[in-house]
Structure 1
Amino acid sequence: MTRLSLLTTSTILTFALGSTAWAQATHPVTGETLAEDQTFQYRLLDQFPSIDPQLIEETAGGHVARQLFEGLLTQNADGTLRPGVAESWSSEDNQTWVFNLREDARWSNGDPVTAQDFVASWQRAADPATASEYAWYVELSQISNSAAVIAGEVGPEELGVRAIDDRTLEVTLSQPLPYFPQMTVHYTFMPSHQPSVEEHGAAWTAPENIVSNGAYMLDEIAVNEFFRLVPNPEYWGAENVIITEVTGYIINDASQALTRFQAGEFDMMDDLPAGSYPRLEAEMPDVAHSVPRLCSYYYAINQSESGHEALQDRRVRTALSLMIDREVITDQVLQAGQAPAFNFTHWATAGFEMPEIEYASWTQEERMAHAMELMTEAGYGPDNPIELNLIYNTSENHRQIATVISQMWRPLGVSTVLNNFEWQSYLEIRGNQNFDVARSAWCGDYNEASTFLDLLTSNNSNNDGKYANDEVDRLMAESVTMADPQPNYTAVEQILSEDMAIIPIYHYTQNFVLDPTIRNWPMENVENNWYVRDIYRVAAE
């Protein structure tokens, strides 16, 4: 029997703090002098399109949802699992999982959080009527009948999840999946308050309507400007929450945001201006941080029927990839510890062995020479040029990278039109395949290689380039039942490289600045999952 219920140092620290901890002169565990001001402010690059757990499709909304809603499980500072709404969870075969919910879990309106809430929310995620961009994630988790529900072949009530009673949730998978509990941390599996959804429809997440079950509640929002959260008094751990207010500021301009950070307007920002990290690290070593982050930066290539004719040719796609000098991007443009990428899955993914990609071992001169040969073979070049539309979401970093890469492509006879869009418009344009090449990034939804590789299966709704390969689909489906799926993952990475399904560019680091008075930040969480309920502010020295 697998039985998991973890209590780590980070959890003990949080549990040890009483309701008046922020009013005390010193921290009751560490002895640090606490600040009178226990607010937290941070910067966002883009306005999140949604904070509805079943409709979120990007990280900005995911960070906010993590404060507003609590799933069955959450994570410690090092990324290990800890209880959320579920106090314990178990399985005898890794196929039928039972989660025991805590008695004191409450919605912000005082309603109890029940197993039925999770059943309804997960059914909602899979229901075609919801049109969730993450419905595929429910299928990826191997919940029984998920594929049939998503396809509309059976009703949502057929999904393999049921409430044994108010406090006992049973999940039946179509096949054993030992890391299923890790997947429940994701926002898609957070509960939504069904009476609010039914009463208010799409407006249920407005501040005046929203009912949430996390440590915080949505108090105010001004689209493209800011949002504000306040503590949820009904949260089961409310007496341990120290930060009294959370404010997020939406600032597209990274340089402006950094100036405002240095002026003390907020406590944390990532997506630093390209090339700024070495200076910041030298000037403010206790403020600037760079840690591995489970994300890969790549260019999606439109291979749908609406795509550019030249991009349907593998040789052209490969030539575009070979011409990119990734070390220029990582070492000269970004300069914050990012690693050049020749495959999709991030090197820090748990248990993953990096594949040997042939062109990764070549010199850049060898890559460029082969790229020129491939373009000539494909019938393109300076005498038969190609014009490509490259889209990216508004960011000085994305603009700089796109500008550099477009220059690298010129010797191939490729001219590139750069188009930037605000986040919501960019997602819609990319999702509708109204592009030739699109700036993209994928951050792991859980710490296992399938979180990356499943993205490029043909039925994944986030596969915006519409790449399709039957062998990739077969290998990924087979990997779920394998004791050691690494051989399949290696084979998939090789196929993706041979087809040049996408153009990998770099593997992320999480480079950010953080006010040193903010403590207990989860530096070791490679998924970058942070919970404001865990942090606190000490008095400035």
Structure 2
Amino acid sequence: MTACSSGSDGGSADGKTDPNAVIVGNNSEPQRPLVPADTNETGGGLILDHIFAGLEYYDVKGNPQMEVAESIESEDNQNWTIKIKGDTKFSDGTPVTSKSFVDAWNQSVKQSMLNASFFESIQGYDEALKVAEAAIEADKENGVGDMDMSGLKVVDDTTFTVALNQPESDFPLRLGYSAFYPLPEAGIGDRAKVKAYGANPITNGPYLVKKDSWKHNEQIELIPNPDYKGDRMPKNGGVTFKFYSTQDAAYNDLQSGALDVLDAIPDSAFGTYQDELGDRSVNEPSAIFQSFTFPKSDARFQGEAGALRLQAISMAINRAEICKTIFQGTRTPATDFIAPVIPGHNDSLKGNEVLKFNPKKAKELWKQADAIAPWTGDLQLAYNSDGGHQAWVDAVMNSIKNTLGIEAKGAPYPDFKSIRNEVTNRTIKTAFRTGWQADYPSPFNFLGPLYGTGGSSNDGDYSNPDFDNLLKQALNTSDQKEAFKIYDQAQEILMKELPTIPLWYSNVNGGWAEGVQGVQFDWHSKPLYFDITK
């Protein structure tokens, strides 16, 4: 796998750095309180990855490395024994034990949190989730299930076991993702207690949230954790994440020195930022996939006519031209649903001609759909204005409009949190921007959470039993080449049904200010802030 990294040679005139200097980076306002299993968007995820230590962490190339775990072992890939280090603790002084993991994982299912589906491989998940859903239906505000997953057992303070429904050789690969982070007793309880915990989290990672520093829609301050003992030891005096309303404002701050590191260059600077920043810039492939999705509530995209319309819209988009003119080579047109830096990506997938610009075919398919159920209304694509998306949304909508002869336009939301709230609550009425920044380097991570029945990020509520079964088969295949062939079969189903419209893969486009050193962008485009100095 290609690492998305670049080093900085900048620094002070004498080459020395200040170990107490605070690094200022960009981010977006988290959608929800900082609870690992209830966070599935990048704003909150970036913070969580710096304030928690999990069983593993992912290095710059995406390889899992032991962090709190001492060992993760199995003789059959189905029954796992996990031993943790006995000398780590949370910031309130309580020890991190095997119970800290088991309770956190069970709680995610009992409260049907956003990332609950990451535990679906564990025995007893389905039963525990049904109990939870019944409790939530009875009391939508406070309902909590009372059944634990039978496949999780605490052996002692430093040992627990995990029994899966079937052998899955890549199970350890997932354990560095934030859904699997531990929680202290202060974070276990009813919904009100957990929500309060997430506003002022007690954590065990390289950094801690500075008390009362989370100023919503402005910034959050992280300070080094003096009790952290892992490999990600901070080399600086803390990190302040600023929440910007536009990427242009963030880039201007980077140029003026008010921002130290930027991980998203605005489209207005795509053609100039590498010249302006020189060797303080990066433009490398990353594990990011971009798309847009239609809500299940939109009947125009259901049934036979809906399937034809989805194919027509996909073929009406000139991806290559948009990547060239809008993104100026910082994006690559999609050929499948998995980013090219991930093993298992296939640019020759059967059926992927639906992703190629074909105006003639698009018009034919649209006409066939109209013969079944005439088109009504217009087509709108929702996006967050703080993410630098207007130019490409306008270009995509114009491509569709000019090809199909329908009214098509963008529908801007002020910020990422606003649009995600409507998507999460299933109240959004228009198509909406979607994308995926990998949680761990596996084809399954690009497929299961997004399109598996009940997946944590299955925003279009797509469900196909054949697709689900293929994913299970792939997970249960120890030969990776064979697994990749099964993932291809699963993707061929997606190509026919298009639960989302694939657009392109993103490079990491970022930069850093003068005097900033040690900047590395990792395999999924995020800076390793603990390593940065100035």
Q: TM-score range by the shorter chain?
A: 0.7 to 0.9
**Residue of structure 1 in register with 2:106 after alignment:** 123
1:467 aligns with 2:462: yes
Q: Which residue among 459, 478, 482 is the counterpart of 2:477?
A: 482
Aligned equivalents of 2:45 and 2:202: distance in 1?
Answer: 17
Contact 1:123 1:159 in 2 (8 A): no
Tell me: CA distance 1:380–1:427, structure 2 relative to 1, closer, same or farther (3 Å).
Answer: farther
Contact 1:355 1:494 in 2 (8 A): no
**Residue of structure 1 in register with 2:446 after alignment:** 452
Q: Residue 155 of structure 1: CA displacement? A: 4.9
Contact 1:290 1:336 in 2 (8 A): no
1:413 aligns with 2:413: no
**Residue of structure 2 in register with 1:152 after alignment:** 131
Amino acid corresponding to residue 115 of structure 2 in structure 1: Y
Aligned equivalents of 1:493 and 1:55: distance in 2?
Answer: 27
Q: 1:72-221 maps to which residues of 2 (within 5 A)?
A: 72-127=55-110, 130-139=111-120, 142-152=121-131, 155-198=146-189, 200-207=193-200, 210-219=201-210, 220-221=213-214
Q: Which residue among 269, 274, 277 is the counterpart of 1:276?
A: 269
Tell me: CA distance 1:516–1:176, structure 2 relative to 1, closer, same or farther (3 Å).
Answer: farther
Tell me: CA distance 1:396–1:187, structure 2 relative to 1, closer, same or farther (3 Å).
Answer: closer
Q: Which residue among 427, 430, 437 is the counterpart of 1:436?
A: 430
- Range with greater deviation from structure 2 (213-222 or 166-175): 166-175
Contact 2:51 2:203 in 1 (8 A): yes
**Residue of structure 2 in register with 1:503 after alignment:** 501
1:223 aligns with 2:216: yes
Aligned equivalents of 1:475 and 1:223: distance in 2?
Answer: 42
1:103-147: CA deviations, max 9, x gaps? 2201112111111111100111121xx2311111111xx222222
Which sections of structure 1, spanning at least 5 residues, go unmatched?
A: 1-9, 11-24, 27-31
**Residue of structure 2 in register with 1:527 after alignment:** 524
**Residue of structure 2 in register with 1:13 after alignment:** none
Q: Residue 423 of structure 1: CA displacement? A: 2.2
- Range with greater deviation from structure 2 (153-162 or 101-110): 153-162
**Residue of structure 1 in register with 2:135 after alignment:** none
Aligned equivalents of 2:232 and 2:364: distance in 1?
Answer: 66
1:9-56: CA deviations, max 9, x gaps? x9xxxxxxxxxxxxxx99xxxxx6333653211011444423111211
Aligned equivalents of 1:222 and 1:79: distance in 2?
Answer: 32
**Helix, strand or coil at the partner of 2:380:** strand
Aligned equivalents of 2:356 and 2:493: distance in 1?
Answer: 22
Aligned equivalents of 2:380 and 2:24: distance in 1?
Answer: 37
Q: Which residue among 413, 416, 427 is the counterpart of 1:423?
A: 416
Q: Which residue among 46, 53, 73 is the counterpart of 1:63?
A: 46
1:258 aligns with 2:251: yes
1:214-234: CA deviations, max 9, x gaps? 111111110000000111222
Aligned equivalents of 2:375 and 2:100: distance in 1?
Answer: 59
Aligned equivalents of 1:103 and 1:493: distance in 2?
Answer: 43
Q: Residue 470 of structure 1: CA displacement? A: 2.8
Q: Which residue among 237, 240, 244 is the counterpart of 2:237?
A: 244
Q: Residue 468 of structure 1: CA displacement? A: 2.6
Aligned equivalents of 1:459 and 1:78: distance in 2?
Answer: 30
Contact 2:315 2:356 in 1 (8 A): no
1:370 aligns with 2:361: yes
**Residue of structure 2 in register with 1:491 after alignment:** 489
1:464-498: CA deviations, max 9, x gaps? 22223232122222222123222221112222112
Q: Residue 61 of structure 1: CA displacement? A: 0.8
Q: Residue 89 of structure 1: CA displacement? A: 2.5
Q: How many residues were matched structurally?
A: 497
Aligned equivalents of 1:345 and 1:283: distance in 2?
Answer: 32
Q: Which residue among 13, 33, 37 is the counterpart of 2:16?
A: 33
Which sections of structure 2, spanning at least 5 residues, go unmatched?
A: 6-12, 133-144
Tell me: CA distance 1:396–1:445, structure 2 relative to 1, closer, same or farther (3 Å).
Answer: closer
- Range with greater deviation from structure 2 (431-440 or 176-185): 431-440
Tell me: CA distance 1:195–1:324, structure 2 relative to 1, closer, same or farther (3 Å).
Answer: same
Q: Residue 461 of structure 1: CA displacement? A: 4.2
Tell me: CA distance 1:272–1:238, structure 2 relative to 1, closer, same or farther (3 Å).
Answer: closer
Contact 2:79 2:164 in 1 (8 A): yes
Aligned equivalents of 1:345 and 1:513: distance in 2?
Answer: 26
Tell me: CA distance 1:46–1:201, structure 2 relative to 1, closer, same or farther (3 Å).
Answer: closer
**Helix, strand or coil at the partner of 2:274:** helix
Tell me: CA distance 1:217–1:415, structure 2 relative to 1, closer, same or farther (3 Å).
Answer: same
Aligned equivalents of 1:494 and 1:86: distance in 2?
Answer: 37
Aligned equivalents of 1:276 and 1:136: distance in 2?
Answer: 39
State the Cα RMSD in Å. Answer: 2.7
Contact 2:355 2:502 in 1 (8 A): no
**Residue of structure 1 in register with 2:137 after alignment:** none
Aligned equivalents of 1:370 and 1:386: distance in 2?
Answer: 22
**Helix, strand or coil at the partner of 1:410:** helix
Tell me: CA distance 1:502–1:360, structure 2 relative to 1, closer, same or farther (3 Å).
Answer: same
Q: Residue 196 of structure 1: CA displacement? A: 4.3
Tell me: CA distance 1:385–1:89, structure 2 relative to 1, closer, same or farther (3 Å).
Answer: closer
Q: Which has the higher contact order (CA 8 A, sep 6+)?
A: 2
**Helix, strand or coil at the partner of 1:229:** strand
Contact 1:106 1:236 in 2 (8 A): no
